[in-house]
């Protein structure tokens, strides 16, 4: 203020807000200047910027004033962990699924911005055999199978996936992939005892052959029914 004495700048004011306060400092020559101080922690995810109005008043009667706008932009700090859309992902796929097929996609978001919001995905605490069977795209979180699946070999795969942001914060989720059985195995007949020669006057009921059956498939696909021709003098009885 070019005026002097009482007509020079006497006070500063700022619009009421919960985050900033104004302190008036006096320098060595008696001049006053304002100092803005932080009163409350800022959260960029809650409010990206703050707009304030600073008013300068002189000591005249009536006082004259001037205003200016102050805009404060809040820089991001890596204070948010990535969050998966689910704590546990579960999917069922056929054992006939071709290699290279998409099985499941995990997704995680981060409320930070820039590098702090960039999320990459990694296997963690996962068996080496599972890592060989499936691959995980670090950028998209897509899980694909690297090789053919076999229900008779492994019925379920369990893995842990980690989402890590550019600032190093991470979180984990569980992934369960269940393999569905297909009727891809032929039944087997195993002869355990055989009398290939019998007397012609042998009484009915004599055991001629003992055999067992098995099928590696599961459920109805693994149930075996045995039949023999109707025009021969033998019958099949279940011994179980």
CATH number at residue 20: 2.60.40.60
pLDDT in tens, 97-131: 999 999 999 999 999 999 999 999 999 989 999 99
127, part of any domain: yes
Counted domains in the chain: 3
- 87 and 141 in a single domain? The answer is yes
Residue closest to 165 by CA, chosen among 105, 208, 122, 210: 122
How far, in Å, CA of 80 to CA of 107, rounded?
Answer: 16
pTM: 0.68
The percent of residues in the chain predicted with pLDDT above 70, rounded, is 100
Looking at the structure, tell me whether residues 197 and 228 fall in a common domain.
yes
Region 155-168 average pLDDT: 95
Which residues have a Cβ under 8 Å from the Cβ of 232 and sit 6 or more positions away?
none
Answer whether residue 94 is part of any domain.
Answer: yes
226 shares its domain with 155: no
Range 82-99 average pLDDT: 95
Q: How many CA atoms lie within 13 A of 167 on its CB side?
A: 16
- The mean pLDDT value for 41-57 works out to 92
What is the pLDDT at residue 164?
97
- Per the document, the length of the chain is 240
Position 232 in a domain: yes
Residue 4 lies inside a defined structural domain of this protein:
no
Cα of 43 vs its chain's centroid, Å: 25
Which of 135, 162, 180 is the last residue in one of the domains?
180
pLDDT band at 240 (very low <50, low <70, confident <90, very high): low
Residue-averaged pLDDT of the chain: 91
In our burial notation (b when 16+ CB lie closer than 10 A, e otherwise), range 47-86 reads eeeeebebebebeeeeeeeeeeeeeeeeebebebbbebee
Question: Is the pLDDT score of 15 beyond 80?
Answer: yes
Could you tell me if residue 231 is inside a domain?
A: yes
Q: How far apart are CA 41 and CA 160, in angstroms?
A: 35
Pick the range with the lowest mean pLDDT from 38-47, 91-100, 102-111: 38-47
In the chain, which residue ranges form alpha helices assigned H by DSSP? Answer: 128-133
Convert the pLDDT of each residue in 174-218 to its tens digit. 999 999 888 777 889 898 888 888 888 888 888 889 989 888 888
175 occurs within a structural domain: yes
Give the whole-angstrom CA distance, residue 204 versus residue 233. Answer: 9
Residues 173 and 188 in one domain: no
Same domain, 114 and 130: yes
Domain of residue 40 covers 9-73
């Amino acid at each position: 203020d070019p005026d002097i004495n009482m007509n020079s700048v006497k006070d500063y004011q700022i619009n009421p807000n919960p985050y900033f306060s104004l302190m008036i400092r006096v320098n060595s020559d008696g001049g006053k200047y304002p100092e803005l101080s932080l009163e409350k922690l800022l959260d960029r995810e809650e409010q990206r910027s703050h707009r304030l109005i600073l008013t300068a008043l002189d000591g005249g009667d009536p006082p004259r004033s001037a205003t200016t706008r102050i805009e404060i932009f809040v820089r991001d700090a890596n204070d948010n962990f990535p969050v998966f859309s689910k704590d546990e992902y579960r999917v069922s796929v056929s054992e006939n699924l071709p290699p290279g097929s998409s099985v499941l996609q995990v997704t995680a978001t981060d409320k930070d911005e820039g590098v702090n919001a960039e999320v990459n995905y990694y296997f963690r605490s996962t068996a080496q055999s599972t890592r060989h069977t499936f691959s995980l795209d670090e950028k998209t979180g897509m899980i694909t199978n690297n090789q053919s699946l076999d229900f008779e070999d492994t019925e379920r795969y369990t893995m842990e996936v980690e989402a890590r942001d550019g600032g190093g914060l991470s979180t984990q989720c569980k992934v369960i992939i269940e393999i569905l059985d297909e009727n891809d195995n032929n039944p087997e007949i195993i002869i355990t005892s055989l009398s290939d020669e019998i007397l012609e006057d042998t009484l009915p009921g004599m055991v001629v052959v003992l055999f067992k059956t098995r099928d590696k498939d599961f459920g109805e696909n693994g149930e075996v029914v045995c039949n023999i021709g109707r025009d021969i003098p033998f019958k099949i009885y279940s011994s179980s």
